Amino acid sequence: MAAVLPAGRLVYGMQLPVQAQSTIFVEPWEAEAGPDELGAIARAADDAGFWYLAVCDHVAIPKDRATVMGTTWWDTVATLGWLAGITSRTHLLSHVYVPAYRHPLAVAKAFSTLDAISGGRVVMGVGAGHVEAEFDLLGLDFSRRGALLDEAIDDLRTAFGAEFTDLDGSGREVGQRPRPARPGGPPIWVGGSSKPALRRAAERGDGWLPQGPVTAEIVDFIRQHRRAVRGDEPIDIGAIVGEVHVGTPAWDVGPRCLSGPPGKIAHIVSKLHTLGVGQVQVRLRARSVAELLDQIAAFGTEVAPLLPGHDG
């Protein structure tokens, strides 16, 4: 695969609420929400032109981490598969999936199927993982998580690229169908902001998903390393805007939340485009599902037309 974001545009996506409920970002109303609420949110984002909807990945949370991380982490592929059936335009992003937790052929089968049933709307965001006890639970060496991710990406490229593969070198080829809708499989965006993660994105990824701020220096590092190992092949660069509330909030949204008129929000978000960013992720603050649906619509109709490359 290669870069897939539309050239010259700054598109926007969102990490879905409800399906992941870490205390770091969960809103109080999510505790009582379920599939009906999540489905309404996904459909609204699809209608509002959100380029992607993102779903996280954890298998099981150690009890000593549960007070912070929570234990509500819906299965990534099952959730994205359901979303594929209730949306029609938005891309489906795993942000991020830890492929080392599963056999590469099982991962390839899941994401190839997901890409096939969604009509080629899958973007596979991958990461090395960060919960050591989760690695221990699955019998994996946490100290090798970077190498495990490298191996997983390479194996996935092979499995996505051909019906029959011999990943273990045994000389026994095995086949998988359905094939991905797109030749070569879903684009792979590599997550993380450490130097190894940046190098991995440049060397093995079709895109980069940051964990922290995006700077000109970071983008230059990725692109210089990219040119050194993959020539002129482009790479999709992302950024996390964080908390956003369109309009003047009638409640305390906190000091980190970007709020105000659409023009102000679009102006600040658009600055990222000058760094080479092609997609931004927003987390819309809301006190209820109804308010979130209003925020999604407001972002799509009032903010999005003011972003670079849009028709507004």
Locate 271 and state its tokens: 């600055």
- What CA–CA distance (Å, rounded) separates 225 from 240? 22
Distance CA 17, CA 30 (A): 7
Residue identified by tokens 């990222």 is 272
Calpha distance 250→153 (Å, rounded)? 46
pTM exceeds 0.95: yes
Q: Which two tokens stand for residue 101?
A: 């937790």
pLDDT at residue 3 in the model: 87
- The pLDDT tens digits for 236-278 are 999 999 999 999 999 999 999 999 999 999 999 999 999 999 9
pLDDT of residue 282: 98
Domains of the chain: 11-236 (3.20.20.30)
pLDDT of residue 2: 77
User: Which parts of the chain register pLDDT below 70?
Assistant: 1, 312
For 51, left (φ over 0), alpha (ψ -120 to 50), or beta?
Answer: alpha
Query: pLDDT value at position 312?
Result: 55
Q: In sequence order, what are the residues at sequence separation of 6 or more whose Cβ sits closer than 8 angstroms to the Cβ of residue 228? A: none
Q: Locate tokens 């095995």: which residue?
A: 174
Please state, in angstroms and as integers, the Cα–Cα distance from residue 65 to each residue in 16, 17, 69, 71, 91, following that order: 21, 20, 6, 9, 31
Which residues neighbour 220 within 8 Å (Cβ) at sequence distance 6 or greater?
A: none
Cα 271 to Cα 307: distance, rounded to the nearest angstrom: 10
pLDDT for 78: 98
CB 130 within 8 A of CB 194: no
State both tokens at 108: 């390839």
- The string of pLDDT tens digits covering residues 163-197 is 999 999 999 999 999 999 999 999 999 999 999 99
Instruction: Give me the DSSP letters along 242-297.
Output: EEEEEB--SS---TT-EEE-HHHHHHHHHGGGGGT--EEEEEE--SSHHHHHHHHH
